[in-house]
Amino acid sequence: MRERLASLGITLPAVSPPKGVYVPAVRSGRHVQVSGQVPMRDGELIATGRVGAEVTPRQARELSRQCALAALAAVDAVAGPVASVRVVKVVGYVSSADGFLDQAEVVAGAGELFLTVFGDAGRHACSVVGVGRLPLGAPVEIEVLFEVVSAEAAPRFR
């Protein structure tokens, strides 16, 4: 994963410390469940507000991408170097103004990043939910389930 990100010129952000009693990601066997990620940079929320009011759908789509990068950073932190990654499921929560109905378009920012990085292995199941408010006033939150194969567990061919 690291090599692919580097070839795309993508740098992972630092893993943001949790704002509650949880960890950013948990590995169980070949799966890594990433806690909901809000759009943070250097430990600070990038934007606040509801999509369709204080935040435009276009801005929210980019914020969704930032959440996806944070999810990848969390995977990297718990799984280390991996030979392969499969995005299994994305759940997106969009803080929505009254009448805003394009939540799926917002969360597509995360999905597009995963497709760019992993190709077909970035195709995933997805659920999208519009909500009144998110923690810290974030416009979007993304949680992801990944399947990973560690580099040391990958088959070696001679």
User: Is residue 28 domain-resident?
Assistant: no
144 found inside a domain? yes
CA torsion through residues 119, 30, 105, 58, sign: negative
Residue 157 banded pLDDT, cuts 50, 70, 90? very low
* 101-156 pLDDT per residue, tens: 999 999 999 999 999 999 999 999 999 999 999 999 999 999 999 999 976 655 44
Closest CA to 64 of 9, 141, 116, 135: 141
Q: Confirm if 124 and 111 have CB atoms less than 8 A apart.
A: yes
| Residue 38 belongs to some domain of the structure | no
Rounded to whole angstroms, the Cα distance separating 36 from 15 reads 12
Q: What CATH number corresponds to the domain at position 142? A: 3.30.1330.40
For residue 20, tell me if it sits in a domain. Answer: no
Q: How many CB atoms lie within 10 A of CB 13?
A: 16
Q: For residue 158, what pLDDT is reported?
A: 40
- pLDDT at 102 (0 to 100): 97
pLDDT at position 152: 62
